Amino acid sequence: MNSEQIINNLPYAPPFLFVDALTEISENGVSGNYIFKEEAFFYKGHFKENPITPGVILTETMAQIGVVCLGIYLLQDEIVLKRKLQIALTSNQTDFYIPVLPNEKVTVISEKEYFRFNKLKCKVKMMNSKNELVCRGTISGMILTK
């Protein structure tokens, strides 16, 4: 399964799709990027006259690229059989270091810690275009096919 097919199999759509491209993917990890568009719905009120990307959106971006895209890759044989994905976040611990501004491009890099019984746990970090660490953490989720 190639990057475009993985993105097309994501269970998200705009305005809640936070994956523009995947740059690398293997059974051990994934990297990809996203540009936070200035017109995104969450910038209208976070914060007045000084918009920054909410931490929950940064976490969601890391989860979509770093866990769900990798999970789709790992379960690609099941998905080819037209089985539907069911995804649930099971745990998250993220530390935030610097803000992400409107129109900023970020890169998410994820390393698989384990994938057992359809539970995927990854170490995930987000870098900005200056290669500065934005945030990092550990994200786990259950990825099932039906």
User: Which amino acids are annotated catalytic?
Assistant: 46
In order, the DSSP letters of 33-97 are EEE--TT-GGGGSSSTTS----HHHHHHHHHIIIIIIHHHHHTHHHHHTTPPEEEEEEEEEEEE-
- Which among 70, 73, 58 has a CA at the least distance from the CA of 127? 58
